Amino acid sequence: MDEEVSIIDTKTRHEKIKNFFLENKKKIIYVILIFLLIVFSIFGYGEFKDIKKKKISNLYNLSIIEYKASNKDKTFNNLKEIVLEKDPTYSPLSLYFIIDKDLTNDKNKINELFDILINKTSLEEEIKNLIIYKKALFNADEITENNLLKILNPLINSESVWKSHALYLISEYFYAKDEKQKSKDFFNQLVNLENANQDLLIEARKRLNRDLSD
């Protein structure tokens, strides 16, 4: 008797499962298709990123290898294209090469590329801070006090490893402008900074003792 009841229960369960699939066939197929679409999209996107990364890498390497003083414009355009791709590795390297080789005299273009790296490229925090410092260094000879501070404030108000570099740069900027008190104030911030760059710390103390002592 128990065996017959068990057989009936099993058949009933099978029938319920069968009916469930028949009644929800369209929904089940839809869910499976969505799942497969997500899986293929993930793998497809990953492969697309790999292909794009390789293309950027090849363009960067080719541009550097083929660079000559006579083809500055071509090299600049290639490297500018890489910066616009917002690649976390090759976009910063491209801008550094543009600056190091003086591929353009247009500072506005260079600053636009700096802003793309700083504001629109996914970078590690300290890499971004380094680029902010490099932008300030690039512009320091020609911009106003307010504009230089505007660039450097994210570093000055942070705990970045580049904070001491920012403080040293703005201190020397004011010293060159013969604004001794402002220069002294920022040098003192650097001297009192925990974990300051040791080389800059030594130079700051020299400046304070030699040129800015009361």
- In 58-78, which positions are buried (b, 16+ CB within 10 angstroms) versus exposed (e)? ebbeebeeebeeeeeeebbeb
State which residues form the domain around 177.
Answer: 129-214
Report pLDDT digits (tens) over 90-107.
999 999 999 999 999 999
Specify whether 23 is located in the same domain as 101: yes
Residues 6+ apart with CB under 8 A from 195: 161
pLDDT at 47: 63
Degrees to nearest 5, angle at CA 43 with 39 and 49: 145
CA distances from 179 to 40, 149, 164, 166, 202 (A): 62, 15, 20, 17, 21
Give residue 178's pLDDT.
94
Q: Would you say residue 78 lies in a domain?
A: yes
Which amino acid is located at 155 in the chain?
L
Tell me what the mean pLDDT of segment 58-62 comes to. 94
pLDDT value for 5: 44
**The overall pTM is greater than 0.85:** no
| Structural domains in the chain (count) | 2
Place of tokens 């580049």: 162
Shared-domain flag, residues 90 and 174: no
* Separation of alpha carbons 195 and 160, rounded Å: 10
Q: Residue 202 is part of a domain; what is its CATH number?
A: 1.25.40
Read off the tokens for 138: 């690039």
Query: How far is it, in rounded angstroms, from Cα 49 to Cα 40?
Result: 14
> Are both 174 and 196 inside the same structural domain?
yes
Q: Is the pLDDT of residue 179 over 70?
A: yes
158/101 same-domain check? no
Is the residue at 10 inside a domain?
no
Percent of the chain with pLDDT over 90: 70
- Phi first, then psi, for residue 68 (nearest 5°) are -140, 160
Which range is least confidently modeled, 43-52, 90-99, 125-134, 200-209?
43-52
**Per-residue model confidence as pLDDT tens digits over 10-55:** 556 666 666 655 666 666 666 666 665 665 566 555 565 678 888 9
Final residue in a domain of this structure, among 82, 106, 123: 123
The alpha carbons of the chain give a radius of gyration, in whole angstroms, of 30
Single out the residue in 123, 141, 157 at which a domain terminates: 123
